[in-house]
């Protein structure tokens, strides 16, 4: 790749091997680093200087400034210059091997720990489905002085979580205001305490109130992809996002296995198994909060496990990826300068960024994709045990059978993210995963009709056999019923894996495509829009599987199938829009007055991730 105009074109096959794997950036990936379009994780504070607790006596060396161009070898590209200097920022030079070492450390020490926290978060959110099958419903209905199984208390317990989750989505903006180690430890502690308190619920209204508080605690954690973008480049982000979000199906699989174990061992326990389940799965969050306070860095500059030089590399490589420039010591692109901006001016800038996001169709499109996907994402993990129970499996078998689909989803998420990063495309992998999910749901929705048709044929066969004095319809009927039951269970696998993959890719797409000079503020605003609109999906999803619709749940399966089909269509439409916008930018149709080429790229900033 040579000139910037060429780099703004949609991804081609030359990007196929450019994207690094988790913790293993390769020198070949440097071509991808040529892109310097606007990226939402171009955050001057705290990435590019200032706010560094280390080496205060050498602050000039710590603050990187670009005066004019960025000398990346001979052609401005990380891979096209000197062999001994894969990356360079003014007079600070480092090799690709050094960059690999930094990324590996961040992967091991940051990404995996964040994945653990998200696993605990999703476990506390979704284990109510396991508790429901473990006897919670009957116990709380009795304590609520009602035996009406169709009262909807359980659905309201699910919905109350998402009502709070939506109402407090604005907390994702606090990542830009509160140091990460304080913010993360506080919210993890809050949801760990509340999740544990669910074990002492005395009635459904109490549980509903606790679920609402749990939603408040977990709403603050939604900005994790924005936080990761402070440490990783654009082409690295989807895989890292996938690693922590893949903890969601892993959490569900672990929760189902643990629920099976608790039910098996707690049959004669003085504590109800569902109460023990909430307690054992909620308390680890309290422990994790104390660890988070010590190990979560506020920025690359404050990662204690990086050496002084590694912290420089971590910050410089992000500024090279963003193409951000500063023009002197007074430039506000440094974190210190950004902190000195008066509150009123910062509020005005944030307001302009929010208005820019609201006028941009791209974050709206990713928000709508997220909303539709969440209809399935928020419902299947909490309803799958009860759906399996309605298929005729006992409580123990339902808990055990709920785990394997989520283990497969865990592997599928990592594979889809790697495919997306290597191909530098979000739309095609996302659409493929959405179609797979839609197909799985479609089979589940049509299975009742298939069952009725087979029963009709069996009835005709039985009549013929009866009139001829022969027997044999029963054996054949049992065979196809077992086969249909197995097929229904197998259809859960693509349905579940598909929507988990879509969530990962869509979040990465949203974060990649944030635009504007505000960097982190804009990324936070676009991400908040996606979360607020996207979390409306669970308000529908948590009402899709009432007991009365069992055992087929045709309505819920149909809604989810159509939603995922619409997601695939939206992804392809958005790709067409981004490709056209980037081609117009290359031709100069969107070129603003007084802006350099790098700034113009920031006007669109999606390429090559479309």
Q: Specify the long-range contacts of residues 19-23, CB closer than 8 Å, at least 24 apart.
A: 19/235, 19/236, 19/239, 19/421, 19/422, 19/423, 19/424, 20/103, 20/235, 20/236, 20/239, 20/421, 21/239, 21/418, 22/107, 22/111, 22/239, 22/240, 22/243, 23/103, 23/104, 23/106, 23/107, 23/108
Token readout for 384 is 């799958």
| Per-residue model confidence (pLDDT) at position 84 | 44
In the predicted structure, residue 492 carries a pLDDT above the cut 90: yes
Domain parsing of the chain, residue ranges: 100-301+354-460+479-586
| Of 339 and 275, more confident | 275
| Of 167 and 212, more confident | 212
| Per-residue model confidence (pLDDT) at position 568 | 97
pLDDT digits (tens, 9 = 90+) for 303-334: 989 999 999 999 888 877 655 443 333 333 33
pLDDT digits (tens, 9 = 90+) for 378-391: 888 888 888 888 77
In the predicted structure, residue 160 carries a pLDDT above the cut 70: yes
Omega into 608 within 30° of 0, i.e. cis? yes
Give the pLDDT band of residue 532 (cuts 50, 70, 90). confident
- Closest alpha carbon to 96 in 12, 32, 140, 15: 32
DSSP code, position 11: P
| Per-residue model confidence (pLDDT) at position 2 | 38
| Per-residue model confidence (pLDDT) at position 141 | 82
Question: How many other C-beta atoms can be found within 10 angstroms of the C-beta atom of residue 451?
Answer: 17
pLDDT digits (tens, 9 = 90+) for 27-74: 333 333 333 333 333 333 333 333 343 344 343 333 332 223 333 333
- Which H or E run includes 430? helix 427-467
Instruction: Tell how far CA 589 is from the center of its chain.
Output: 34
- Closest alpha carbon to 285 in 120, 165, 122: 120
In the predicted structure, residue 249 carries a pLDDT above the cut 90: no
Strands (E), 118-210: none
Using CB atoms within 10 Å of the CB of residue 518, give its burial: 0 to 12 exposed, 13 to 18 middle, 19+ buried. buried
pLDDT digits (tens, 9 = 90+) for 558-589: 999 999 999 999 999 999 998 888 888 777 65
| Per-residue model confidence (pLDDT) at position 318 | 83
In the predicted structure, residue 151 carries a pLDDT above the cut 90: no
Residues in Cβ contact with 321 at an 8 Å cutoff, skipping those fewer than 6 apart = 33, 35, 36, 39, 233, 234
pLDDT digits (tens, 9 = 90+) for 196-214: 999 999 999 999 999 999 9
CB 138 within 8 A of CB 263: no
Most confident of 198-212, 320-334, 353-367, 451-465: 198-212
- For residues 436-448, give the mean pLDDT: 95
| Per-residue model confidence (pLDDT) at position 262 | 84
DSSP code, position 87: E
| Per-residue model confidence (pLDDT) at position 344 | 62
Token readout for 394 is 């006992």
Q: Out of 69-73, 477-481, 524-528, pick the least confident.
A: 69-73
| Per-residue model confidence (pLDDT) at position 86 | 53
d(CA 411, CA 363): 28
- For residues 342-365, give the mean pLDDT: 73
Pick the CATH number of 100-301+354-460+479-586 from 3.40.50.2300, 1.10.645.10, 3.30.70.360, 1.20.1250.20: 1.20.1250.20
CB 39 within 8 A of CB 512: yes
| Of 7 and 553, more confident | 553
| Of 357 and 131, more confident | 131
The packing angle between helices 308-322 and 96-106, to 10°, is 100
- For residues 176-189, give the mean pLDDT: 91
In the chain, DSSP finds a helix count (H) and a strand count (E) of 27, 2
- Closest alpha carbon to 300 in 105, 115, 118: 105
The packing angle between helices 284-295 and 112-131, to 10°, is 160
| Per-residue model confidence (pLDDT) at position 32 | 33
| Of 161 and 89, more confident | 161
d(CA 340, CA 291): 31
Residues in Cβ contact with 338 at an 8 Å cutoff, skipping those fewer than 6 apart = 44, 45, 50, 332
Phi, psi of 226 (to 5 degrees): -65, -40
- Closest alpha carbon to 551 in 597, 593, 499, 488: 488
- Which H or E run includes 92? strand 92-94
Omega into 551 within 30° of 0, i.e. cis? yes
The packing angle between helices 427-467 and 473-512, to 10°, is 170
pLDDT digits (tens, 9 = 90+) for 414-427: 899 889 888 888 89
| Per-residue model confidence (pLDDT) at position 211 | 96
């Amino acid at each position: 790749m040579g000139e910037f105009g060429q780099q703004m074109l949609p991804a081609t096959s030359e990007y196929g091997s450019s994207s690094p794997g988790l913790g293993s950036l390769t020198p070949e990936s440097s071509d991808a680093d040529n892109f310097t379009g606007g990226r939402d994780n171009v955050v001057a504070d705290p990435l590019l200087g200032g706010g560094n607790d280390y080496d205060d006596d050498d602050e000039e060396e710590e603050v990187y400034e670009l005066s004019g161009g960025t000398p990346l070898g001979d052609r401005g590209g990380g891979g096209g210059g000197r062999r001994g200097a894969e990356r360079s920022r003014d007079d600070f030079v480092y090799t690709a091997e050094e960059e690999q070492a930094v990324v590996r450390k961040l992967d091991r020490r940051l990404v995996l720990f964040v994945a653990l926290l998200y696993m605990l978060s999703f476990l506390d959110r979704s284990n109510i489905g396991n508790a429901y099958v473990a006897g919670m419903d009957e116990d709380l209905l009795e304590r609520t002085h009602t035996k009406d199984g169709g009262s909807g208390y359980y659905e309201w317990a699910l919905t109350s979580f998402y009502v709070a989750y939506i109402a407090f989505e604005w907390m994702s903006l606090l990542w830009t205001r509160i140091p990460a180690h304080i913010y993360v430890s506080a919210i993890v502690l809050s949801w760990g305490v509340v999740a544990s308190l669910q074990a002492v619920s005395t009635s459904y209204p109490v549980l509903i109130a606790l679920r609402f508080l749990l939603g408040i605690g977990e709403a603050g954690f939604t900005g994790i992809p924005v936080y990761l973008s402070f440490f990783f480049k654009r082409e690295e982000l989807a895989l890292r996002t996938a690693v922590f979000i893949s903890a969601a199906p892993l959490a569900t699989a672990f929760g189902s296995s643990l629920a099976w174990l608790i039910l098996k061992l707690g049959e004669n326990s003085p504590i109800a198994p569902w109460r023990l389940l909430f307690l054992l799965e909620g308390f680890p969050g309290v422990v994790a909060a104390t660890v988070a306070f010590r190990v979560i860095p506020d920025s690359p500059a404050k990662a204690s496990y990086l050496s002084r030089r590694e912290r420089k590399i971590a910050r410089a490589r992000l500024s090279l990826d963003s193409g951000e420039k500063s023009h002197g010591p007074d430039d506000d692109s440094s974190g210190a300068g950004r902190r000195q901006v008066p509150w009123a001016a910062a509020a005005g800038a944030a307001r302009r960024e929010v208005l820019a996001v609201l006028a941009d169709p791209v974050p709206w499109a990713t928000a709508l994709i997220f909303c539709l996907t969440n209809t399935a994402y928020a419902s299947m993990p909490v309803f799958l045990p009860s759906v399996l129970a309605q298929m005729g499996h006992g409580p123990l078998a339902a808990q055990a059978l709920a785990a394997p689909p989520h283990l497969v989803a865990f592997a599928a998420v990592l594979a889809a993210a790697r495919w997306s990063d290597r191909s530098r495309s979000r739309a095609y992998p996302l659409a493929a995963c959405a179609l797979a999910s839609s197909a799985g749901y479609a089979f589940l929705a049509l299975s009742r009709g298939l069952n009725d048709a087979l029963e009709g044929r069996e009835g005709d066969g039985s009549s013929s056999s009866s009139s001829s004095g022969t027997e044999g319809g029963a054996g054949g009927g049992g065979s196809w019923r077992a086969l249909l039951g197995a097929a229904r269970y197998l259809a859960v696998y693509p349905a579940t894996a598909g929507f988990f993959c879509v969530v990962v890719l869509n979040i990465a797409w949203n974060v990649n495509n944030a635009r504007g000079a505000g960097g982190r503020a804009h990324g936070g605003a676009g991400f908040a829009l996606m979360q607020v609109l996207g979390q409306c999906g669970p308000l529908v999803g948590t009402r899709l599987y009432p007991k009365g619709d069992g055992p087929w749940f045709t309505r819920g399966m149909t809604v989810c199938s159509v939603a995922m089909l619409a997601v695939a269509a939206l992804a392809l439409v958005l790709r067409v829009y981004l490709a056209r916008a980037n081609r117009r930018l290359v031709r100069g149709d969107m070129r603003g007055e007084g802006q350099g080429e790098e700034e113009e790229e920031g006007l669109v900033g999606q390429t090559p991730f479309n």
